Homo-oligomer: A and B are copies of this chain.
Amino acid sequence: MKIEIINTGSELLLGSTLNTHGAWLGQRLIEVGLRVQRLITVPDGEPIRDAIKDSIAVSDVVIVTGGLGPTSDDITREATAEALGVELIEDEHAVRCLEAFFKKINRPMTPSNLKQAQHPCGADVLPNDRGTAPGVYVPPRLGTTGEKKGCAIFLLPGPPHEMHAMYDAEVAPRLRAMIDIPADFGVTGIKFSGVGESRFQDELDAKLEAIGGDAKLEVGYCARPGELDLRLIGAESLREEAAQLAIDTYPESYISRNGDSLEKTVVDLLAKMKLKLALVESCTGGRIASRVTDVSGSSKVFTHGYVTYSNEAKSQLLGVKYETLAKYGAVSQEVAVEMAQGGLVHSKADIAISVTGIAGPTGGTEEKPVGTVWIGISRIQDGEMHTSAVQKYQPQGREVFKQVVSQAAFMLILNSLRAKRKNS
């Protein structure tokens, strides 16, 4: 089945916005065994017409993102109707949905928004509860041009959170119904942190590739700051064997194999163990707290977060001693330990994490260069407080630094929790 993607939006070609749609859709399509043949990115306006015509002529499925907005250069609907040789009609239900949406967000609906309720005659409207632009599904019978087999067309909104929700709810089920893949064919994604792609490749790749012999198991990697995703594509039994091998090889780096983020894995385990977490952040500046609270239900396990970006705040809020700060400096094992202990005591949590380091680009010294960081952990176990701290060095720029350090902090919590579960 030949599938093409068209991403519309001048901002994608002007350098102001990275196109993340291609990668996101590519990954989702792999899960139903489809591989994108071509991805076309075009600016708003007329070029959308040519791109849609081109792609319909050579594809079985075309997914178009963007150009469904209310402005004059949003012409994806018109271009599609034109390519199919049908009229654009206004959908009454879509008009009512638009009215309801604007009522919900308490803003007036403008006349130009009405354009968003239009769709090519004969196509289905795909609901969008996250924004104003409904999607459109053109079934293959309508997308038939000349001799070629019909082409199914999906028009999806450009904003990522709208597009993602609509793909999962409306596109994926229709694609699965169109194609015939073995029932046990699928993708297993396993997340790791603290082990690099090249080490994985050197130590494990050959063993993974050998699994299943002639029966093909496809192995892929995706490296992000502080995280490595292993992707296994094939029959279920092969994926299972490979997953177990990878997890057993790097148990202390293993995060999850159900798609859960590191923060969700940590929050869920804390909730299961009925433990409360406190966070004490200096150089990560609230990033860890923000990631914890990205998880729905985190209020059950997280109550206190301290962002102590100055020595005064560390002392005032956590009781870190001025002598310790003066003697060892704010970025030191001793201060990390006192921060974690202070956070644990003041919040009455069961486990506290502290982070103190130099994110850069300024503030480094010869002895403590930019990228130096101490992560402390303090826990109540068997009625006693146990505290320790580890040093990391992550000189990769402020943004990557914060992400990688928060990953390391979460892994420290996760391994501490898992060790306790194993021992008890």
Contacts and interface: CB of A to CB of B under 8 A. Distances in A.
Given A15-B24, A40-B40, A303 B310 contact: yes
Nearest to A288: B286
A289 B282 CA distance: 11
A221 interface: yes
Contacts of A256: none
A231 B43 CA distance: 13
Q: Chain A interface mostly helix, strand, loop or mixed?
A: mixed
A105 interface: yes
Interface stretch (A86-94, A139-147, A392-400, A415-423): A392-400
For the complex formed by this chain, how many copies does it contain in all? Answer: 2
Interface in A111-129: 111-113
Interface residues of A, number: 112
A16 B222 contact: yes
Contacts of A24: 15
A161 B225 contact: yes
Interface stretch (A192-200, A240-248, A334-342, A378-386): A192-200
Interface stretch (A29-37, A148-156, A168-176, A321-329): A29-37
A362 B346 CA distance: 28
A294 B402 contact: yes
Interface in A283-330: 283-290, 292-294, 296-299, 302-310, 312-313, 316-317
Interface in A342-369: 346-347, 359-363
B286 A307 contact: yes
A376 interface: no
A347 to B, nearest CB: 7
A285 B296 contact: no
A135 to B, nearest CB: 17
A231 B198 CA distance: 41
Interface stretch (A5-13, A75-83, A178-186): A5-13
Contacts of A189: 16
Nearest to A229: B16
A307 B24 CA distance: 32
A67 to B, nearest CB: 12
Given A19-B23, A161-B397, A289 B307 contact: yes
A272 to B, nearest CB: 18
A42 interface: yes
A414 interface: no
A81 B346 CA distance: 62
Contact of A287 (B39, B110, B286): B286
Given A70-B197, A161-B400, A38 B38 contact: no
A362 B304 contact: no
22 contacts: A13-B22, A16-B222, A19-B22, A39-B41, A40-B40, A69-B197, A70-B201, A71-B201, A72-B201, A72-B205, A110-B199, A161-B397, A285-B302, A286-B305, A287-B290, A296-B361, A304-B310, A304-B317, A305-B306, A305-B307, A305-B309, A306-B307
